[in-house]
Amino acid sequence: MTSPKLYLEDLVPGQIFESGSHTLTAEEIVEFAGRFDPQFFHLDHEAAKASLFGGLAASGWHVASTTMRLMVQSSVIAGGLIGAGAEIAWPRPTRPGDTLRVITEIVEVTPSRSRPERGMVLVRSKTLNQLDEIVQTMASRMVVPRRTPAETAP
């Protein structure tokens, strides 16, 4: 990556970042589920038809992990993407062959009171499929370093 890195001072609410894309294959969906979420609706096409999903669907944690990869690969935030926590929802299943991409918006930038060298940033991301349908929403709090440490009270 040759883009200049962004520090806390460079981020403002409303800024939007867009990731590249990744297509989830049936093989990837089944392999991830076998390791981390071994339930029949993530593992077996035929059996999944009788489930709430009506067919094979990716584990939500697979969608979240793929979202993370797309965000990391496209990120220009200095210090990396370090999340303290997240609120996540999966309004619709992700299917084999779906091509996912992530749109992330900076919502809030808060310099730390106790740590002059960093701050917290609230971001909202939407993970979309190839039909622009939202398959995941996430609000996450991230630790971002300052370019120049803040002046502290004497």
Q: For binding to a second copy (CB under 8 A), which residues are involved?
A: 32, 35-41, 51-52, 59-61, 64-66, 68-69, 72-73, 79-90, 143
Q: In this structure, are strands 99-111 and 118-128 parallel, antiparallel, or unpaired?
A: antiparallel
Q: Which of 14/144 has CB closer to a second copy?
A: 144
17, 28, 69, 95, 146 from 22: Cα distances, Å: 16, 11, 9, 13, 31
As measured in angstroms, the least distance from the Cβ of 154 to a second copy is 27
Sequence-ordered alpha helix ranges (H) in the chain: 26-36, 40-43, 45-48, 60-74
Residue located via tokens 């009788």: 50
Q: Which of 59/127 has CB closer to a second copy?
A: 59
As measured in angstroms, the least distance from the Cβ of 10 to a second copy is 19
Q: Which of 6/41 has CB closer to a second copy?
A: 41
- Number of alpha carbons in the 13 Å side-chain half-sphere of residue 135: 26
As measured in angstroms, the least distance from the Cβ of 75 to a second copy is 9
Hey, what are 43's tokens? 């593992």
Closest to 130 in 3D by CA, of 88, 95, 89: 95
Q: Which of 15/51 has CB closer to a second copy?
A: 51
As measured in angstroms, the least distance from the Cβ of 120 to a second copy is 13
